[in-house]
A and B are shown apart, each in its own frame.
Chain A
Amino acid sequence: METTEGTKKKKITGSEAVILSLINEGVDVLFGYPGGAIMPVYDAMHDYYDKLNHILTRHEQGALHAAQGYARVTGKVGVSIVTSGPGATNAVTGIADAMIDSTPLVVISGQVASSLLGTDAFQETDVVGITQPITKWNYQIKNAADIPEAIAKAFYIAKSGRPGPVLLDITKDAQFGEFEYEYKKIDFIRSYRPLPKTDYSQIDEAARLINLAKKPMALIGQGVILGGAEKEALEFLEKADIPFAYTLLGLSAIPTEHRLNIGMLGMHGHYAPNVKTNDADLIIAIGMRFDDRVTGNLDKYAKKAKVIHLDIDPAEVNKNVYADVPVLGNVKDTLPLLTEKISPNNHEEWLQEFRALINVETQKIINKQINPAEEGILMGEVIHKVSEAFGNDAIMVTDVGQHQMMAARYFKFKQSRSVVTSGGLGTMGFGLPAAIGAKMGKPDRPVVLFAGDGGFQMTIQELGTIFQSNIPVKVVLLNNSFLGMVRQWQELFFDKRYAMTELVNPDFQTICKGYHMPSELVDSREKLDAAIKNLVEQDGPYLIEVVVEKEGNVFPMVPAGASVSDIRLE
C-alpha cells in the first residue's frame, strides 16, 4: 500500500509541498546546493532529514552529475535542487548530459519572486528558456497550488518512455504561498505518448529477415538497460545465435564473458565488430541511436546489411541510418515477440570470423596493454587489474578521455547497470560526482572511478563532499600529465603539435590529504598490486594515483571521417 504524505487537507506552504511531493514520489536521496531563491525549500527540508538524505555537493554541476550517477545505477529518477541564477546555470552541463544520455532527472531550481520576473532582478536568469532545448520538459511554477501536479508530471515524464531530465523552476512567492495540499501521481498526459504503438507486421518482417540472415550482428544500446530488457535480449540473442556488440552506454547490459560477445562498437571500440559491420548482411539495432562515434562515416556504414531498428523513440528511427524494418516500442516488450517468431539457429562459422579478428586484436593490442614490455605503466594493465581485484563485478564510473575508452575496453562486468559514463556529451568532470551518486544509489556494491588528471581537476572539489558525507568511493587517478585524448589526436593528426595539452599538475597526494581522502601514489609497477589491494580492502573512500606512460595511445581507432571498417590497429 502506498502512503501519501501530508494528504490531510491542511494548509501548508509551497516549500513544504515540494518536500512532501518528493517523498510521495519515493525520493530518499537528493543532491543539491542552497541559495537565496531556494531557501524556503531548504528550510522546509530541515524537518525531513529522516526521510530525505540531502547530499551537499561543492558545486551545482557536481549535484547534477551525482543525481545522474544515482539514476544510472538504480534506474530511479535522480533529484537535484539548486538556487536561481548561477545555481541554475551551473546545473546546465549536467542537464544537457542527462538529456543526451537519456537519464531520468528532476531538477528543481529556485527563481526570483514572480513580481520580479523579467526585470533582471538579483540572480534572475531565464532558466526555462536556457534549458528548453536540453530538457525533456520544463516548467515554471508561479503558484504554490500548482506544485503537486507539476512535480507529479515531472516524475512521470522523466521516467516514462525514453527517460530524460525535467526542470521545474519555482518562484520564491510560490514557495512561500499556502494552500491545501493533496498529492496524486500522474500516469497520463494527453499530449504525451511515451510508448509508441508496435506494428506487428514489422515483427513478422524482422523475424523473416533474421531467419534468412547468414551474417547477422546485433547492436546492444542503453535502451536494453533502460527498458530492463537484459534477460529478453539474452534470450533473443541465444535463440538466434547472433553475435552482439554494444555501444559505450550499452556496456554491462550483458555479462562481458558471454560467448556471443564480440566487443564494443565505435571509434575506440573493438576491432572485430567495427571491421565486420561492413560484412554483415543484417544489423539488428536494439535500443541504440547510431551515434556518429559508433557509425563513423555514414556513407560507408553497414553497406551490405539490411537494418532492423528496435527503439522506443520514433525520432531515432531513420535519423542517422535508414531502417528497413523499424520496430517501435519498449524493447522489453518487442524482443520477446521477436524471439517467439524466430527459429533457433547456429552461426558458429560467422562467429569464427569474429574470433579470428578478436585474436588479432588480442595479440596486437590487448596483450601488450595488459602485460607491457616497457617500463612505464599503461592504463590498460591498471584497469584490467582493478577489474579483477573487484571480481569483475564492480560499478565502473569514468571521467572523459583516454582512460574512459580504456576503462570501457578493459573493465569487465557481470551485471547490468554497472557503467556510469558520460557518453553523448563527453563531459570532463563528470566522473567524481557521478561516482558519489552511484555509491549513494548502490551502497552495497563497490563503486570505482577511473579519472584522468585533467577531468579530475574539473570537479576535484567534490572530494569535500566525499569527506563530509563519508561516501566510500574508490578512485583510480590515471595521471599522464597530459590532456591525453586531445594529445593523442595532436600526435596522430596535428603533427605532434601539443597545443595546450601538457598539464603542470598539483601534488594530488597533498590535495587528498587536505580533503582527508586516504590515498597513495603508484609511480612504479612494483607498487601497483599492493595499492590495488588497499583500494579494494579499505573500508572508506580511497584514492590511488597511478603515474602512467605520458604518451600512451588508445587503439584501435576509427579516424574521424573514416569508415568503421578502416579501423586502425596502430
Chain B
Amino acid sequence: MKQEFTISIYSENHIGLLSQVSTVFTRRNVNIESITSSESAIPGIHKITIVAITEKELIDKVQTQLDKRIDVVKSFVFTEDEVIHQEIALYKVPTEAILESNEVERLIRKHNARILEISKEYTVIEKTGHKSETQELFEKLSQFGVTQFTRSGRVAVTKLKKELLSSYLDKLENEKIIKD
C-alpha cells in the first residue's frame, strides 16, 4: 500500500549532494513529490527534506541506500503522524479583484493567509499550511485570476522528544573515542 513519507536526510554540505540523493530515488523509481534543502541546527550539517509517496518496503530500501552514500550522515523516514510539517504558498492576484468585492479579503482572513505586498497592478498573498490547505485557497482564489502560484517543498520537525541526529552523532563520537 502506498502512503506518504517524509524523509529527512542529514549530510555534509558538499557540491553535488542533492544529485547523489535524488539518484537514489530515481534508481528505485520513487517519485519525489517535493524537496527542500537548508542548514540544520547542527553547524556544518545540511538537511534535505523529501516527500515521497510509495510503499513502506520500498522506502526502507531507499533509506539504506541513502545511508550508504558516504556524505550522508544519516537519514530518517517518518510517516505523516510522526512529524509536524508545513509548506508555504504565494499567490499573485490582480489588485483590481480585491478592490471589486470583499470576497478576496474574506478568503484571506478565513484561511489565515496574509498580504505580503500590494501594488497598483497586483497583490501577493502568503499562506503557510499543509498542502491541502494551500491548495484549497488556490482553488478558491482561482476565480479572481491567480496569475502566479508557487508552493515550497515541505519543512518538517519530528514530534519526538529525543533529537535523533544529535544522539546519533554523540554515539558516533563515543565510538571514535573508544577506537582512539
Are the CB atoms of A137 and B68 closer together than 8 Å?
A: no
Chain B contacts of A318 at CB under 8 A?
A: 60-61
Chain B residues near A136: list those with CB within 8 A.
70
Minimum CB–CB distance from B71 to chain A (whole Å) comes to 6
Q: A191-B11, A315-B68 are in contact. Are A132 and B19 (CB under 8 A)?
A: yes
Instruction: Determine the chain A residues whose CB is within 8 A of the CB of B12 once the complex forms.
Output: 190-191
Q: Is B87 an interface residue (CB 8 A)?
A: no
Contact B68 A313 (CB under 8 A): yes
| Smallest Cβ-Cβ distance to A316: which chain B residue | B64
Q: How many of A's residues come within 8 Å of B, CB to CB? A: 22
Chain B residues, Cβ within 8 Å of A137? 70-71
Residues in B whose Cβ lies below 8 Å from that of A188: 176, 179
Provide the main secondary structure of the chain B interface: helix
Whole-angstrom distance between the Cβ of B110 and the nearest chain A Cβ: 46
In chain B between 60 and 97, which residues have their CB closer than 8 angstroms to a CB of chain A?
A: 60-61, 64-65, 67-68, 70-73
Shortest Cβ distance from residue B54 to the other chain A in the assembled complex, whole angstroms? 16
A297 shortest CB reach to chain B, Å: 19
Q: How far is the CA of A192 from the CA of B67 in the complex (A)?
A: 8
Is the C-beta of A372 less than 8 angstroms from some C-beta in chain B?
A: no
Distance (whole angstroms) from the CB of B7 to the closest CB of chain A: 15
Residues of B within 8 A of A129 (CB): 16, 19
Complex Cα distance A488/B108, Å? Answer: 71
Q: How far is the CB of A482 from chain B (nearest CB, A)?
A: 34
Q: Which A residue's beta carbon lies closest to that of B63?
A: A315
CB <8 Å contact, A191 and B16? no
Query: Chain A: which residue is nearest B44 at the CB level?
Result: A190
Interface size range of chain B in the complex: 20 to 34
**B169 close to chain A: CB less than 8 A:** yes
Given A132-B23, A133-B27 in contact, is the A315-B70 Cβ separation under 8 Å? no
Across the interface, do B61 and A132 meet the contact criterion of CB distance under 8 Å? no
B20 interface contact, C-beta 8 A = yes
Instruction: Evaluate contact between A314 and B64: CB separation under 8 angstroms.
Output: yes
- Which of B15, B19, B27, B70 is A191 in contact with, Cβ under 8 Å? B70
A314: nearest residue on chain B (CB-CB)? B64
Q: Mark B1-31, 1 if CB is under 8 A from A, else 0.
A: 0000000000110111001100100010000
Q: Which residue of A lies closest to B19 (CB)?
A: A132
Known: A315-B61, A318-B61. A190 touches B20 (CB 8 A): no
Cβ-based interface call for B172 (8 A): yes
User: In the complex, how many angstroms separate the beta carbon of A319 from the nearest chain B beta carbon?
Assistant: 6
Most chain-B Cβ atoms within 10 A of its Cβ — which of A188, A191, A193, A313?
A: A191
Determine the distance from Cα of A137 to Cα of B60 in the docked complex, in whole angstroms: 22
Digitize A126-160: 1 where CB-to-B-CB distance is under 8 Å, 0 elsewhere: 00110011001101100000000000000001000
Nearest residue in A to B24 (C-beta to C-beta)? A133
Task: Point out which of A139, A192, A318 has the most chain B C-beta atoms below 10 A from its C-beta.
Answer: A192
Contacts of B60 in A (CB 8 A): 318
Are B23 and A191 interface neighbours, CB within 8 A? no
Q: Does A189 contact B (CB under 8 A)?
A: yes
The residues of B that contact A192 with a CB separation of less than 8 Å are: 70
What chain B residues lie within 8 Å of A189 (beta carbons)? 70
Whole-angstrom CA separation of A355 from B63 in the bound complex = 43
Beyond A191-B70, A193-B172, A318-B61, 19 additional pairs, beta carbon < 8 A: A129-B16, A132-B16, A132-B19, A132-B20, A132-B23, A139-B14, A140-B15, A187-B179, A189-B70, A190-B12, A190-B73, A191-B71, A191-B73, A313-B68, A315-B64, A315-B65, A315-B67, A318-B60, A319-B64
Between-chain CB contacts (< 8 Å), 16 pairs? A128-B16, A132-B19, A157-B70, A188-B179, A190-B12, A190-B172, A191-B11, A191-B72, A192-B70, A313-B68, A314-B67, A315-B64, A315-B67, A315-B68, A319-B61, A319-B64
Which 3 pairs across A and B sit closest by C-beta, in order of nearness? A315-B64, A137-B70, A191-B73
Interface, chain B (partner A; CB < 8 A): 11-12, 14-16, 19-20, 23, 27, 60-61, 64-65, 67-68, 70-73, 169, 172, 176, 179
